[in-house]
């Protein structure tokens, strides 16, 4: 009985240690992002080039986590539409992610080919990232945590969650998957 108790106690201690390390790692990542603005972020594109958000100063930015095998993929066409209709004052940036239902299993090259072939996507597409969990991409950590973005906490529940940033780099709002990029909830900020 004593051996079982010691074994259980060891397991609990190990579990707490691992959980504490993850928590500390998350806090460290958050501290590294404190004081940053959207313009401090640079990410890799699908084709390996750099997307520098500082290049988008003076324009609104619509950031979307995407997935090629999701039921919301018709929104790629909507994203392309708003990208074209408001190109003088808006930049759309897609971020493929495989976090929900394993609906983005492809490589960056496969994702790029799919988006171009099926939807004629011309807006910037970042390399595949994670948008939740311990490996959340820094830009999504920034967008989802009020302590970092200064506006609100957001939990990304599915693919095609959208974040709209104003022309001064301030988060305006986030929008759930069912809100299309062409919906008034978003376009009212673009007129």
From first to last of its 191 residues, what are the pLDDT tens digits of the chain?
A: 555 544 444 444 444 444 444 444 455 466 778 888 999 999 999 999 999 999 999 999 999 999 999 999 999 999 999 999 999 999 999 999 999 999 999 999 999 999 999 999 999 999 999 999 999 999 999 999 999 999 999 999 999 999 999 999 999 999 999 999 999 999 999 99
Report pLDDT for 121.
98
Catalytic residue among 61, 64, 67, 70: 70
4 inside domain: no
56 inside domain: yes
Report pLDDT for 4.
53
- Per the structure, the count of domains in the chain is 1
CA nearest 61: which of 188, 180, 182, 168?
168
70 is an active site residue? yes
2 inside domain: no
> The domain that contains 53 carries what CATH number?
3.40.30.10
8 inside domain: no
Report pLDDT for 169.
96
76 inside domain: yes
| Separation CA 18–CA 11 (nearest Å) | 11
Report pLDDT for 34.
85
77 inside domain: yes
Report pLDDT for 1.
55
25 inside domain: no
Report pLDDT for 72.
98
Domain span holding position 166: 33-187
Is the separation of the CB atoms in 33 and 141 below 8 Å? yes
């Amino acid at each position: 009985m004593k051996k079982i108790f010691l074994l259980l106690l060891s397991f609990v201690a190990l579990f707490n240690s691992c959980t504490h390390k993850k928590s500390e790692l998350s806090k460290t990542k958050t501290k590294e992002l404190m004081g940053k603005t959207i313009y401090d972020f640079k990410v890799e594109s699908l084709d390996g080039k750099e997307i520098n958000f500082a290049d988008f100063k003076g324009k609104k930015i619509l950031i979307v986590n995407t997935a090629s095998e999701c039921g919301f993929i018709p929104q790629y066409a909507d994203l392309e539409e708003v990208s074209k209709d408001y190109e003088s004052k808006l930049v759309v940036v897609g971020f493929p992610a495989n976090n929900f239902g394993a609906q983005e299993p492809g490589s960056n090259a496969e994702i790029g080919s799919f988006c171009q072939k099926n939807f004629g996507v011309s807006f910037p597409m970042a390399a595949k990232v994670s948008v939740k969990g311990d490996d959340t991409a820094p830009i999504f950590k920034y967008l989802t945590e009020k302590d970092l973005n200064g506006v609100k906490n957001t939990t990304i529940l599915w693919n095609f969650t959208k974040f709209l940033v104003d022309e001064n780099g301030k988060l305006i709002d986030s929008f759930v998957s069912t809100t299309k990029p062409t919906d008034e909830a978003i376009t009212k900020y673009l007129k």
